[in-house]
Amino acid sequence: MPISAEYGSLKLGSSYDVKPDIGVKAEPYSAGLCIITSDVFGDGELDLEDCESALLIDLNNKEAVYAKNVYERLYPASLTKIMTALIAIKYGQPDMVLTASENVRVDEAGAQLAGIDPGDSMTLSQALRILLLYSANDVAQLIAENIGGTIDEFVYMMNDEAIRLGATGTHFVNANGLTDSAHYTTAYDLYLIFNECVKYDEFNEIIQLQSYDAVYSDKKGREVSLSFKNTNGYINGSYDPPANVIVLGGKTGTTTAAGHCLILLSKDINGNPFVSVVLKSDTTDGLYKSMNSLLELENK
């Protein structure tokens, strides 16, 4: 059963009034965040030509170590799924059972799919792991419909959360990141969303997993067993980060329109945390080359 469409002070699909409490001062969304007013090119020599936009943020000092076109609106591909996961974790319960409808059918050529069918069911905990590790678009649909009641209501929740976080250069039209001209974000907004995600232990636990074995039920109650490998090249061992940098996890995204994209949480030699983003690289190798160039700045 989907959760209630009413959450917080906002009822989905309705108009609402906000009445301030006398004597209560609201904390601005930017408190505790890095604010960027212009491009920042690290040591002054690094120019990432293999991507359209890139960002490296020192979370402890709340400053940009590197910033290139961070407010340019671009297609996020499956980096969208960090917001999908955030909404699901905030408003769902790990053991709630999600049941697939016809909406899990995704027809776009080349779309990554777990292969679930209408009538199949799994827990939210299972679905989140398949979503974030394997980037399954059908599982994004499953989560959206069961958490939001309808996919449209879930997308409304995504956009409302983006506004709450100050991600004003972002607009979502789906929960999976498949290409749509009205579905876009920026590197800076992805930092804001990801920064919120890593406040949740479940999210941090999932993005560090190398693989996940799922056992769920089909429409006839029979067990289905599938194994999923993390698409993050640093976690699955396909690529090595620079020396003295520890990659804790993140999310990949790839479509023809978006190019190759990646967002990461990492630590420098002293254990200080950083968020890094690379958007619209032409190739997978180019993506990880650009990301390694960013990560090398952590220990400078």
| Options 53, 121, 135, 293, the catalytic residue | 135
| Options 81, 121, 251, 276, the catalytic residue | 81
Q: Say if CB 2 and CB 146 are below 8 A apart.
A: yes
Query: Can 81 be counted among the known catalytic residues?
Result: yes
CA distance 148 to 6: 10
List Cβ neighbours of 121 (8 Å cut-off, separation of 6 or more). 97, 98, 99, 100, 216, 217
CA distance 297 to 131: 30
| Options 53, 68, 78, 121, the catalytic residue | 78
Which tokens in the block code for residue 64?
A: 């940009």
CA angle 111, 116, 121 (to 5 degrees): 140
CA distance 16 to 24: 20
* DSSP per-residue string spanning 44-73: TT---TT-SEEEEEETTTTEEEEEESTT--
Query: Can 121 be counted among the known catalytic residues?
Result: no
CB neighbourhood size of 213 (10 A) = 9
Helical (H) or strand (E) element with 264: strand 259-267
* CA neighbor of 53 nearest in space, from 235, 240, 253: 253
Which tokens in the block code for residue 120?
A: 């199949």
How many residues in the chain?
A: 300
Catalytic residue IDs: 78, 81, 135
